[in-house]
Amino acid sequence: MNRELLAAAAPKWIEIEPFSAQTKFDMLAMWTEAIMDAIDHDHLEPDTCEALYLTYAIHTLVDGRYYAALKFAEMVLTEPALRRAPRLLPDGPPPVMLADLRDAMKKVRERPAKG
């Protein structure tokens, strides 16, 4: 995954803040899905931290906390060595599979945005 390229393409909060709740919701849902696509292309399944932050991003979208959703999605793009404590380096199986995250996002997109 080209983390720098994805980070450069991230929506800027100052640009999307004035938009309607539905527009923010749609933009951030597409952004989160783009990150999932990059993970799928790179290594098929998210590591523990990626799965956790993507889950948080989806949850905050549902809750209408769009700034938090943006920040959680951005945290996925942080280099793995920089985002987790050394004691967490040995990864076990991911707590959430990418297919589960995609299913959750599909259900989330069917709901109206909170605003």
pLDDT in tens, 59-106: 999 999 999 999 999 999 988 777 665 555 555 555 678 899 999 999
pLDDT at 87: 55
On the 0-12 / 13-18 / 19+ scale of CB atoms within 10 A, 14 is: exposed
List all residues 6 or more positions away from 71 whose beta carbon is below 8 Å from its beta carbon.
none
SS3 content of the chain, % helix, strand, coil (to 5): 70, 0, 30
Please state the pTM of the whole predicted model. 0.82
Once rounded to an integer, what is the mean pLDDT over residues 10-37? Answer: 94
Tokens at residue 52, please? 């956790």
Q: How far apart are the first and last CA of the chain?
A: 32
